[in-house]
Structure 1
Amino acid sequence: MELEGKSAVVVGMARSGVAAAEFLLGRGARVVAADRKPAAELPPEVTRLQEKGARLALGAHDAATFTAADLVVVSPGVPWDLPELVAARGAGVEVIAELELGFRCLTGTVAAITGTKGKSTTTAALGAMLKAAGQDVRVGGNIGQAVTGLVEGSTEKTVFVLEVSSFQLEGTEAFHPRVAVFLNLSPDHLDRHPSFDDYARAKARIFRNQTEDDWAVVNADDPGVIALAREGRGRPLPFHPLPSASPAPEGRGPAAFFAGNEARLRRDGAVEVLFPLSAVRLPGTHLAGDLLAAAAAARLLGAGPEAVERAVRAFTGVEHVLERVAEIGGVAFFNDSKATNVEAARKSIEAFPGPLLVVMGGRYKGGDFHDLAGVLATHGKAVLAIGEAQGRIAEALGSVLPVIACPSLAEAVDVAWAEAEPGDTVLLAPACSSFDMFEDYAARGRAFKAEVHRLELKELGAGG
């Protein structure tokens, strides 16, 4: 992609936007870095872009800046129907996602992972498997580094393992993964997408440019995923995510599944063992399913079965995904701040036998909290409700178990500790976004861990 001398506007100065602006500057483009927030509310990396040659347009958007550009690059957090983007497209300006920009400029093979939940775990695990096989792997996208920050120095042997969200995919045109993994589909981000169908269609763009030479690793137990995959041309490799002792799926086509306490792959008429379930170090059966999908993709990308199993045995998960924080006085604390929707929270709660004290809430973004009633009736002891969604949570779940409204995350941790008994688990599973109280889910997860460690030090002091 020729960028030298082009006028480019990058809108949204979070992690991906800053990376895209730096990338464009490095390729000789004339860059305008735009954000509605003033400089005081943005990270220092933004003001440093000016020192590197970018013009800053902060505090408000000017449509004329967008319509006069050769290219507009959009960060994932920026709505695709932003009036200035609509005006730019109407003026014939090419408007693309940061993911698309990175893809057009990289060299190598792309594996992309999407889904409503499990993306980060699957992405990190696939990266670890390919690394264990000795491949040149670059992991990023919606986690870690932005794609444009991974491009430099890539070769034909480089494999990009990218977590991709609906926000990123909706701004793609040429994006073409050699292996596309679609984990699951349930309502999410309905505060951003007009409808569930719009959300699903954005996700389905992962298949858009695949050919018969590519692979689509898809959840065989999710009808929505299967229906979207059928519209693509990639070769399907269905995976059955639930561990069981059932026999292999019928037929002779490719499939990944659990049988006999092992993860197995059937391909070219032969069945091989990917890893024993005893090698999995993560809580929750749904995370074993994520590892199964990652292992199938790793084999398609050339990793040997020994490397796959070795990586599974060493893999302890990713930060903010069922992350064990501490055990205090016989009470375990787990951080699942990435459980930002109702379905993800349900899976998180199901990972523990109980009794559970669940810290839940934040900014509501769709879904039905009533869907958690059954699993909380079985596993829950209390819900500590935080953030803007407190009222919705209490209305949906107050008849099932105690829902205690807490004005802050710190108070939620303190109340959970006061209510807990040895053998209980305190779980942060918000089922909401973090933007009413925190910069993002990671900041929320870090805050939770800090409060738990504060409590841990307090209890150590009391005991000493």
Structure 2
Amino acid sequence: MVEMVQSEANAEFTVEGRRVIVVGAARSGLAAAELLAARGADVVVTDICTTVNQDLGRWSKRVTFELGEHRNQTFLSADLVVLSPGVSPEQSAVRTARESGIPVIGELELASRWLSGRVVAVTGTKGKSTTSLLAGRLLDAAGFSTLVGGNVGPALSAQVAQSTPDVIHVVETSSFQLELTEQFHPWIAVVLNVSPDHLDRHGTLERYTNAKAKILANQGDADWLVVNADDPQVLAMVDGSDARRLPFALDTSIPDGITLVDDVIARRMPSGSVPLVPRSAVQLIGRHLLQDVLAAVAIGVIVGATPEAMTRAVAAFEGLEHTLEPVRRIGGVQFINDSKATNLAAARHAIESLGPGLVPIVGGRFKGGDWRVLQDGLVQRAKALVAIGEARPQIVEVLGGSVPVHEADSLAEAVRMGFTLAAPRGTVLLAPACASFDMFQDYAERGRCFKEEVERLAGSVTEIGEQ
């Protein structure tokens, strides 16, 4: 087992008696407000929505809510502003506070200052949730006290009360969370991949990558860095880090790291290879998800999980809802839900993970990038493509010359259209490559709607067959 670096809560950071504005009244913001109130702060939660899904009467008298707008005078009265990940630092009232010298931090940064346990932070354009949850399962199976949270599961602020020195926090971290960190210090930082995403917020790939790179900012030579050696953008991003490295790779030959050796996930070293997990234990579809498994195994190796424990955890892990999730087969047509593929890179990997006869459903609110990255996979595998949402005109314009593109006005219509196009034996894949906010509350609602429409279609096909 590798020697662990003890995390220490920041004893100097206190909010007792201070006025703190929390921006955003969703999961992360509410957890931050509760944490701050417990630490003695007077908290104002502000949100542009006029209602929140909360019984406001249950809250401490230390917490008040201002809904419907962000008021400059409220922000200017603050000692500290804490931002939920979904709120841009360039929001007008936030910018006013910052320009007036009021500290502005993110919810991740806030919570991390009070953690006593060690932090394993996972970032990347895609695969964060799969890697984080699987790593948590690996460490649990190996007997470590583990909490998984951050961008997946509970907000990190909700886990501070459980953070003792023996706890390992596996924290999924997005670019939105990382861009407002200052002291965030993971013992193990994991960088899975980097490709254009969230350009609607960050503006450029450089700014997006810089936000991701903040996961490394406070690491030293006692810390660890798990990196994807197959991704040149990742290697460029981590160049210059002082942390010890344990890379993983499927395509690149690495002298010391986690890779496949004779169909076994192993640690290859100059002195030889140590088998860890049989490839046959992996239940997930797709080469990109196998990379996530390698990253989780790398975490397990550093922490000290045994091969037996890791194999049990990997074999029991069937993946996440909305991530290449098999829904059902209707006749000869298979339906797969990858609603979590909210960017081009994730959609490309989903398309390239499946065989010929594919009909992807693509579209939504586009976050930026070049649609042409999908062309090769579509030409090789797709019978047709169904375009939905705000991005339909772009999809038709850019991809219409590569594959027949059909437009649908709703997800229900897209499911029916996909079934017709994929018949008699093909696959309908929901891989939107876009955010969901033009049609749905989030990617999860989109995925659930897709599955409901598939079930509805199955019922109608059965009824027709019985007539």
Q: How high is the TM-score relative to the length of structure 2?
A: 0.94
Q: Distance in 2 between matches of 1:105 and 1:235?
A: 25
Unaligned 5+ residue runs, structure 2?
1-12
Q: Aligned partners of 2:401, 2:72: CA distance in 1, in Å?
A: 50
Q: Which residue of 1 aligns with 2:180?
A: 171
TM-aligned CA deviation for residue 118 of structure 1 = 0.9
Q: What amino acid sits opposite 2:348 in the alignment?
A: R
RMSD of aligned Cα (Å): 1.6
Give the counterpart of 1:197 among 206, 211, 218.
Answer: 206
Shift of residue 180 of structure 1? 0.5
Match of 2:44 among 14, 17, 32: 32
List alignment gaps of at least 5 residues for structure 1. Answer: none
Q: Which residue, 215, 239, 243 being the options, matches 2:224?
A: 215
Q: Secondary structure at the match of 2:149?
A: strand
CA drift of 1:51 comes to: 6.3
Candidates 30, 34, 53, aligned match of 1:43: 53
Question: SS at the partner of 1:343?
Answer: helix
Which of 23, 29, 36 is the matching residue for 1:17? Answer: 29
Of residues 414, 417, 435, the one that matches 1:415 is 417
Report runs of 4+ in structure 1 exceeding 3 Å deviation.
Answer: 47-53, 266-270, 460-464
2:148 pairs with one of 133, 139, 142: 139
Change (3 A) 1:261 1:193: same
Structure 1 stretch displaced more, 57-66 or 164-173: 57-66
Paired residues of 2:117 and 2:164 also in contact (CA < 8 A): yes
Matched, 1:228 2:237: yes
Q: Which residue of 2 aligns with 1:365?
A: 367
Pairs within 5 Å for 1:41-440: 42-44=52-54, 47-48=56-57, 53-242=62-251, 249=254, 251=255, 254-266=256-268, 269=271, 271-440=273-442
- What are the Cα deviations for residues 360-419 of structure 1, in whole angstroms up to 9, with x where unaligned? 000011011111111101111111111100000011111111111111111101111222
Does structure 1 conserve the Cα–Cα contact (< 8 Å) formed by 2:139 and 2:300? yes
2:3 maps to none
Deviation at 1:459, TM superposition (A): 2.8
How many residues end up aligned between the 2 structures?
A: 454
Code of the aligned partner of 2:370: D
Corresponding letter in the other structure for 1:271: S
Say which SS state the counterpart of residue 70 (structure 2) adopts.
coil
Determine helix, strand or coil for the equivalent of 1:271.
strand
C-alpha distance in 1 between matches for 2:142 and 2:102: 43
- Structure 1's 211 and 270: CA in aligned 2 closer, same or farther, altered over 3 A? farther
Paired with 2:436 and 2:32, the residues of 1 have a C-alpha distance of 24
Per the alignment, do residues 231 and 80 of structure 1 end up closer, same or farther by CA in structure 2, a change over 3 Å counting?
farther
Q: Which residue of 1 aligns with 2:448?
A: 446
Report SS of the residue matched to 1:151: helix
Q: Report the identity percentage.
A: 49
| Residue identity opposite 2:347 in structure 1 | A
Distance 1:421 1:311 in 2: 37
- Cα 1:4–1:138 shift into 2, 3 Å: same
Query: C-alpha displacement at 1:23, in angstroms?
Result: 1.7
Does the 8 Å contact 2:37/2:60 carry over to 1? no
Question: SS in structure 2 opposite 1:200?
Answer: helix
SS across alignment from 1:239: coil
Displacement of 1:231 in angstroms is 3.1
Q: What SS is found at the alignment partner of 1:150?
A: helix
Give distance in 2, aligned partners of 1:463 and 1:60: 54
Partner of 2:20: 8
CA distance in 2, matches of 1:110, 1:462: 55
> One-letter code of the match for 1:2?
T
Check whether the contact 1:3–1:28 (CA below 8 A) recurs between aligned residues.
Answer: yes
Residues 383, 421 of structure 2: 8 Å contact kept? no
Report the TM-score when normalising by structure 1.
Answer: 0.94
For the residues of structure 2 that align with 1:221 and 1:52, how far apart are their CA atoms?
Answer: 52
**Paired letter, 1:361:** G
Contact 1:141 1:147 in 2 (8 A): yes
State the 1:274 CA deviation: 2.0
Q: Distance in 2 between matches of 1:458 and 1:52?
A: 53
Partner letter of residue 53 of structure 2? P
